[in-house]
Amino acid sequence: MVKACALIPAYNEAAHIAEVVSGTKPQVMDVFVVDDGSGDDTSAQASAAGATVLRHERNLGKGQALRTGFARVLAGAYTHVVLIDADLQHDPAEIPRLLAAAARGATLVLGERELVRNAMPAMRFHANVIGSRVLSWFIGADVADSQSGFRVVACDLLRRVTLTGRGYEIETEMLIKLARAGARIERVTVSRLHYEGVRSHIRPFRDTFRTCMLAVRYRFFPGRS
């Protein structure tokens, strides 16, 4: 039986967080938002929408936000955690499709967006394609959207790994370490992103290069991560 909560890392997402929480809440048992040092009303909006808010006093990065959230989630009685971004790039109404894959036995479910060249910024498109090909080779399984923040992970699987990433590299670290820990991966195609008006904290060239270098470290030198 799947007993899922949701974990949403957020930084200055007051404009969207309430809608994300409201859409997520009916799909899971509890919703946790980690406000990573926002300077706006992210925490207040998330709390008013029904989330339990964990707050960093200063911005520490997405990886640290997820790690803070994981510590809270793994202390509970949940079997799975849904990861979803705070900026409305994913549709919370699609969470049941990912949870259905978890109910079939997948321990890592990836919500993969359809990457269409003319529907997203060129740098982000190429960065994701390159990063996904590199990660596919390292984990020994095809992955088309390695940087998607829309995922479901079995809590027992999370307990078997130690995550150290502080920034966006945690997406790469999770894929490699969870795969090495024996993850049963299932990919679910989700709605394509809409980029109009969406602010990204990702720097495509720098973060893609970092993804590739960290993939080497996580794969061949796990003791240093």
- pLDDT tens digits, residue range 142-179? 665 667 889 999 999 999 999 998 888 888 888 888 98
Mean pLDDT for all residues in the chain: 84
d(CA 64, CA 9) in angstroms, rounded, equals 9
Nearest CA to 63 among 141, 149, 133, 127?
149
Q: Is 24 exposed, middle or buried (0-12, 13-18, 19+ CB in 10 A)?
A: buried
Q: State the residue range of the domain holding 202.
A: 4-224
d(CA 93, CA 10) in angstroms, rounded, equals 19
Give me the CATH number covering residue 58: 3.90.550.10
Cα 171 to Cα 57, 75, 150, 175, 177, distances in angstroms? 23, 22, 10, 6, 10
The backbone torsions φ and ψ at residue 5, rounded to the nearest 5 degrees and listed phi first, read: -120, 175
Q: Is 4 exposed, middle or buried (0-12, 13-18, 19+ CB in 10 A)?
A: buried
Whether the CA torsion 82, 189, 181, 222 is positive or negative: it is negative
The residue to which tokens 């919370």 are assigned: 92
pLDDT band at 57 (very low <50, low <70, confident <90, very high): very high
Q: Which pLDDT score, from 0 to 100, does residue 217 have?
A: 63
Question: Is the pLDDT score of 191 beyond 80?
Answer: yes
Q: Which pLDDT score, from 0 to 100, does residue 40 have?
A: 97
Of 165 and 95, the structure prediction assigns the larger pLDDT to: 95
Nearest CA to 131 among 220, 82, 203?
203
Q: What is the edge-to-edge ordering of all strands in the sheet holding 80-83?
A: 52-56, 31-36, 4-10, 80-83, 151-154, 108-113, 185-190
Question: Is the pLDDT score of 203 beyond 60?
Answer: no
Question: Is the pLDDT score of 199 beyond 70?
Answer: no
pLDDT band at 113 (very low <50, low <70, confident <90, very high): confident
pTM of the model: 0.82
Average pLDDT over residues 36-60: 98
Nearest CA to 13 among 38, 32, 47, 49?
38
pLDDT band at 128 (very low <50, low <70, confident <90, very high): low
Q: Which pLDDT score, from 0 to 100, does residue 13 have?
A: 97
SS3 54: strand
Looking at the structure of the chain, the number of domains it has is 1
Question: Is the pLDDT score of 101 beyond 80?
Answer: yes
Question: Is the pLDDT score of 140 beyond 70?
Answer: no
Q: Is 139 exposed, middle or buried (0-12, 13-18, 19+ CB in 10 A)?
A: buried
Of 56 and 197, the structure prediction assigns the larger pLDDT to: 56
